[in-house]
Amino acid sequence: MSLILFSLPALEAMAGDIRRGCGATAGEYEMRHFPDGETYVRVLSDVAGAEVAVLWQLHQPDSTVLPLLMLVNTLKDLGAKRVGLVAPYLAYMRQDKRFHAGEGISQRYFARLLSQQVDWLVTVDPHLHRISALSEVYTIPALAMTAVEPMAGWIRTHVTNPVVIGPDGESEQWAASVAKAAGCPCEVLTKERFGDRDVKVSLPHVDNYRGHTPVLVDDIISTGKTMIQAAQHLMDAGLSAPVCIGVHGIFAAGAQQEMAAAGLKVVTCDSIADHTNAIALGPLLARGMKEILQ
Ligand code: R5P
């Protein structure tokens, strides 16, 4: 059976890696907006009876998800056997509980919406904090790949004498895996968050790591405050400016400028297209697609 991959134009390089990795052909479509902002979709490939995957960027989901759903529904209307979603970055994972009375638990609602619309999901390092598996909120087959190996590979080839540092307790198990795969030591800091842009990071035990290059790794870089605070403490303690690696560079307004002003080198995986992308996730996603389609 044919496997056809449709892709957001911004992710075309990654789409090429995925197509090569799992033997898919490129789906062709047109998408534009009517003058009133509504989405126009026209699928040009024959998808009748085909396994179809859509590679989409869910960064800024409130504007990107509706066009995705228009494409998915068009593909189903045209007879695709199944339509799966390859989302290198899975949005709406952080509001995973009711922190204050009356709040919505957007993680659940978003998962419900996607589960109703697509037949399967492959993603990379979703923010699993108070839930431990996507299956707790997604009712479709949902596979979470991890960027541990690609990140470790980048560290091995680009950083001299690295020490991987997790900027907070949440990152501990994950930072340890990256360090193990990169063959270097690991240190984890503790973090307290007082507000969206107010984060305090504890001093680490740095004495063992003088002469090492600190590599801060986190799943998400949003405001950059977590990285900046952690880096500042490392530098105050006499370590060199760290390399900051994020799987998903969301980059809230001003984040990159603030990180640059703090003297940080920032590297991201290519889950969200950006000039900081240096670690390709396409081959990993191709493996995930093959696994979920078996
Ligand atoms: C938090 O739970 C995540 O793992 C990241 O540490 C967080 O999203 C980073 O956010 P920011 O860049 O705004 O400090």
**Over pLDDT 90: what percentage of the chain?**
82
Is the pLDDT at 132 greater than 80? The verdict is: yes
Nearest alpha carbon, ligand 1 atom 8:
220
Burial of residue 44, with CB atoms counted within 10 A of its CB: 0-12 exposed, 13-18 middle, 19 or more buried: exposed
The best mutation among 218, 258, 266 to test binding of ligand 1, ranked by most ligand atoms within 8 Å of the C-beta, falls on: 218
- Please give the average per-residue pLDDT across 91-104, as a whole number: 96
For residue 46, the model assigns a pLDDT of: 98
Residue type, 57: Q
Q: What is the pTM of this model?
A: 0.92
Supply the mean pLDDT for the chain.
Answer: 93
Nearest alpha carbon, ligand 1 atom 5:
220
For residue 208, the model assigns a pLDDT of: 83
Higher-confidence residue of 188 and 198: namely 188
Q: 151-195 pLDDT, tens per residue?
A: 999 999 999 999 999 988 778 878 999 999 999 999 888 766 777
CB of 226 within 6 A of ligand 1: the answer is: yes
Which is the closest atom of ligand 1 to the Cα of 222?
A: 12
| Cα(84) to centroid(ligand 1), Å | 28
Instruction: Verify whether residue 290 is a known catalytic residue.
Output: no
- Nearest-5° angle of CA 27, CA 275, CA 22? 30
| Cα(221) to centroid(ligand 1), Å | 6
Q: 34-52 pLDDT, tens per residue?
A: 999 999 999 999 999 999 9
Judged by average pLDDT, the poorest of 92-106, 192-206, 228-242, 276-290 is: 192-206
CB of 96 within 6 A of ligand 1: the answer is: no
| Cα(226) to centroid(ligand 1), Å | 6
CB of 229 within 6 A of ligand 1: the answer is: no
- Could you tell me which of 64, 71, 12, 10 has the C-alpha nearest to residue 40? 71
For residue 1, the model assigns a pLDDT of: 63
CB of 225 within 6 A of ligand 1: the answer is: yes
For residue 201, the model assigns a pLDDT of: 63
Query: Looking at 76, 81, 97, 191, which residue is catalytic?
Result: 191
Q: 48-74 pLDDT, tens per residue?
A: 999 999 999 999 999 999 999 999 999
- Please give the average per-residue pLDDT across 267-287, as a whole number: 96
For residue 174, the model assigns a pLDDT of: 84
Is the pLDDT at 203 greater than 60? The verdict is: no
Instruction: Decide if 245 contacts 220 (C-beta within 8 A).
Output: no
For residue 41, the model assigns a pLDDT of: 98
Is the pLDDT at 196 greater than 80? The verdict is: no
What is the DSSP pairing of strand 25-26 with strand 3-7? parallel
- The helix (run of H) or strand (run of E) holding residue 4 is strand 3-7
What is the 3-class SS of 43-111, one letter each residue?
A: ECCCCCCCEEEEECCCCCHHHHHHHHHHHHHHHHHCCCCEEEEEECCCCCCCCCCCCCCCCCCHHHHHH
The whole-angstrom separation of Cα 123 and Cα 139 is 15
CB of 222 within 6 A of ligand 1: the answer is: yes
For residue 29, the model assigns a pLDDT of: 98
| Cα(139) to centroid(ligand 1), Å | 26
CB of 223 within 6 A of ligand 1: the answer is: yes
Is the pLDDT at 257 greater than 60? The verdict is: yes
Helix (H, G, I), strand (E, B) or coil at 122: strand
The best mutation among 99, 219, 271 to test binding of ligand 1, ranked by most ligand atoms within 8 Å of the C-beta, falls on: 219
Residue type, 211: G
CB of 230 within 6 A of ligand 1: the answer is: no
